[in-house]
Amino acid sequence: MILSLFSFGTILSCVYSVNALGTSCSAPLGPGLAAPGEPFWLETIKDQGVSVYHPNASDYPVFRNVKDYGAKGDGITDDTDAINNAISFGGRCAGGAQICNSSTVSPALVYFPKGNYVVSTPLNTYYYTQLVGDARQLPTLVASENFTGLAVIDADPYIPGGNGAQWFVNQNNFFRSVRNFEIDLRQVPATNEAGTGIHWQVSQATSLTNIVFHMSTANDTAHRGIWMENGSGGYMGDLVFNGGKFGIHGGNQQFTVRNTTFNNVQAGVSALWNWGWTFQRVTMNNCQIGFSILTGGTTAETQSVGAEAIIDATVINTPIFIQTSKPSNGSLSGSLVLNNIKLDNVPTAVGVLNGSVVLPGGTTTIESWGQGNVYSGADGTPRFVQGPIPAPDKPSVLLDDSGHIFGKTRPQYESYALSQIISVKDHGAMGDGRTDDTAALQAIFDEFAGCKIFFFDAGTYIVKSTLTIPADSRIVGEAWTTIAGRGLKFQDIDNPQPVIRVGEPDCQGIVEISDMIFTAIGPAPGAIIMEWNVAQPSGVNGGTGMWDSHVKIGGSDGTNLQLNCPTRGAGAFIDNCFGAFLGLHLKPSSTPYLEGTWVWVADHNLDGDGSTQISIYGGRGILSESQGPAWMIGTGASSSYW
């Protein structure tokens, strides 16, 4: 391998050292400087984001403040219509009469300043929507006493008179985010199931973050925090449930839930079915039941909870931690795994509804316990286990100071002032889906890395050669801002090149990326969409991370990889449908923390009818050569093939 003098110098300067500051930096970023009472910086930053593939891009607002649409937030006025107008403005993608299954050309970030917003019917979230509250002073959504509908926020409404039909296909209900809210259901009569916070029937690239649910504590309460009957998610975390019949109620093919607290809930989690759910860092205080789990079947006709893993839980003053619906009687479909569960005054650790105590509780720690079928070696005959199981090896570098698997809340920089944040559009980048922004973006990084937070206004930023994100860079997008590789640099399948390089090899420093999409405009058989090199500074777990950011290959307007890549017939299996060589490459020196990240080679077209199957060729999803530590929480890759 031949290195230029510049490359050689860069690598030498970065071996096991923290990266230098940008050329315009006189000092590192330091703590936030926002004054008390100052609004969240997102509320005041200049609005110049664009959806470049929208047919009326110049007139279509990506960012919309609900108060600009008439919402008062005064705790008195019914703000339902105003908020729904803010969500729907611009002919966006919804179900019902519009029959829009999905669309990437009409994104929206709907912003709520601090205040109390009274609603009387659901806030119906359209496809590709983010609902974002003031992270400094959480706004409250207050369900009125006469509230009617399925939930305060509804991500997949049922169509009236539709015989169960809904706006979206639940397994394809991608790209949704709700964060920074309190949801108050206590004015809704306790016995009214309309007292539900969020109807969240969603799929991949979705997140719920930093939300507090307030529900009735009456004995006959029917209130629920989250209701989810189907889907194929997904990630949620940093949630608090106060009161109610259920905190989380329902099921989904797969989900990861991190850092959740349940206070005085009758059943913290009511699990109806799944293929695989992971709960990490759960706290339960004064609940009646921690987890109520429907068990017994894994066929299409009898599907219940297929696999439930609960890791690092603390349960206090709760009579029953786990209650299953059926006894095992020596065999039982599905599995339950408990790891590092601390019980304090919890008489029953695992029990059966109206039946026996399987595992007594008390004040104790469950190191590792399982229930389900164990397969050993090549033997296809399962052995049913219900008891202690060998604990997995958890290296100390993966743990926090409390001995839990490390987790890091998505950074929002709520304590930072607007003066500490720069817009890339203000410094020469275009983000118009046409201009080569490589040089402009590289210059911005090289000038301000380490002393400013980079805000990528909504848009599509084209790069025609590798863009290097230096160590000590903090990046925030707007409704999944896109960086897309295009051109000759990414054509050689025998010499693949990264579109995005996160740090030079053996560099250390803080890197934080949120709300971004990384892709290539096809064909791009030689594109490595993202190469991650940077390592966290010594002693700073999670110092290099990515939250609610995704690698998406093909299947949307602007990618040149849509209906021209059919699954069969004329045009199928053609060179023009190579989407990427590799999605995400975690290099040996890297120490990535990935949370809510999805690496997807599109198997259907999100624009147009939103359902037609296509064949895009991307041979590899995530290749990890990281020597650690590395965390992948709520992270997945799908549909890669060559």
418 in Cβ contact with 45 (< 8 Å):
yes
- Report CA dihedral (379, 384, 389, 392) to the nearest 10 degrees: 50
* Res 299: pLDDT: 72
Cα(446)–Cα(434) distance, integer angstroms: 23
* Res 327: pLDDT: 87
Whether 353 is covered by a domain: the verdict is yes
Q: What pLDDT, in 10s, does the model give residues 501-544?
A: 999 999 999 999 999 999 999 999 999 999 999 999 999 999 99
Q: Which of 373, 398, 423 is the last residue of a domain?
A: 398
Whether 115 is covered by a domain: the verdict is yes
Residues 418 and 394 in one domain: no
Is pLDDT above 90 for 567? no
Total Cβ atoms within 10 A of residue 392: 9
551 in Cβ contact with 502 (< 8 Å):
no
In degrees, rounded to 5, the angle at the alpha carbon of residue 245 between the alpha carbons of residues 239 and 246 is 40
Residues 356 and 457 in one domain: no
Average pLDDT over residues 136-161: 96
Report how far apart the first and last C-alpha atoms of the chain are (Å, whole number).
Answer: 27
- Which residues span the domain enclosing 279? 61-398
Whether 42 is covered by a domain: the verdict is no
Cα(331)–Cα(352) distance, integer angstroms: 14
User: Confidence band (pLDDT; 50, 70, 90) for 300?
Assistant: low
Residues 576 and 523 in one domain: yes
Whether 91 is covered by a domain: the verdict is yes
Residues 392 and 441 in one domain: no
CATH number of the domain to which 472 belongs: 2.160.20.10
Q: Percent of the chain scored above 90 by pLDDT?
A: 85
Residues 100 and 191 in one domain: yes
Residues 362 and 220 in one domain: yes
Residues 376 and 457 in one domain: no
Residues 128 and 233 in one domain: yes
Residues 6+ apart with CB under 8 A from 103: 92, 93, 127, 128, 606, 607, 610
Q: Tell me the CA distances in angstroms from 504 to 50, 268, 381, 396, 470, one per residue in order.
A: 31, 45, 49, 26, 7
Q: Kindly state the tokens that stand for 632.
A: 């992948």
Cα(212)–Cα(238) distance, integer angstroms: 9
Residues 127 and 231 in one domain: yes
Q: Which of 342, 368, 398 is the last residue of a domain?
A: 398
606 in Cβ contact with 104 (< 8 Å):
yes
Cα(408)–Cα(545) distance, integer angstroms: 9
Average pLDDT over residues 23-40: 96
Whether 308 is covered by a domain: the verdict is yes
Compute the mean pLDDT over every residue in the chain, rounded to the nearest whole number: 93
Cα(70)–Cα(566) distance, integer angstroms: 45
Residues 327 and 430 in one domain: no
Whether 614 is covered by a domain: the verdict is yes
Q: Percent of the chain scored above 70 by pLDDT?
A: 95
Lowest mean pLDDT: which of 91-95, 203-207, 572-576? 572-576
* Res 14: pLDDT: 59
Q: What pLDDT, in 10s, does the model give residues 348-375?
A: 999 999 889 999 999 999 999 999 988 8
Whether 48 is covered by a domain: the verdict is no
Average pLDDT over residues 320-326: 96
User: Confidence band (pLDDT; 50, 70, 90) for 303?
Assistant: confident
Residues 351 and 444 in one domain: no
Q: Kindly state the tokens that stand for 526.
A: 């030689």
E strands along 34-184, which residues?
Answer: 63-65, 74-78, 108-112, 116-119, 123-124, 129-133, 140-143, 153-154, 176-184
Q: Tell me the CA distances in angstroms from 462 to 51, 440, 485, 533, 607, one per residue in order.
A: 14, 11, 6, 22, 20
Q: Which of 375, 398, 421 is the last residue of a domain?
A: 398
Is pLDDT above 90 for 97? no
Report H helices in 327-435: none
Whether 45 is covered by a domain: the verdict is no
Residues 6+ apart with CB under 8 A from 67: 73, 113
Is pLDDT above 60 for 16? no
Cα(303)–Cα(275) distance, integer angstroms: 9
Q: What pLDDT, in 10s, does the model give residues 272-290?
A: 999 999 999 999 999 999 9
- Which H or E run contains 11? helix 5-14
Split into its structural domains, the chain has a count of 2
Q: Is the dihedral of CA 144, 150, 156, 162 positive or negative?
A: negative
User: Confidence band (pLDDT; 50, 70, 90) for 18?
Assistant: low
Cα(171)–Cα(177) distance, integer angstroms: 16
Residues 450 and 516 in one domain: yes
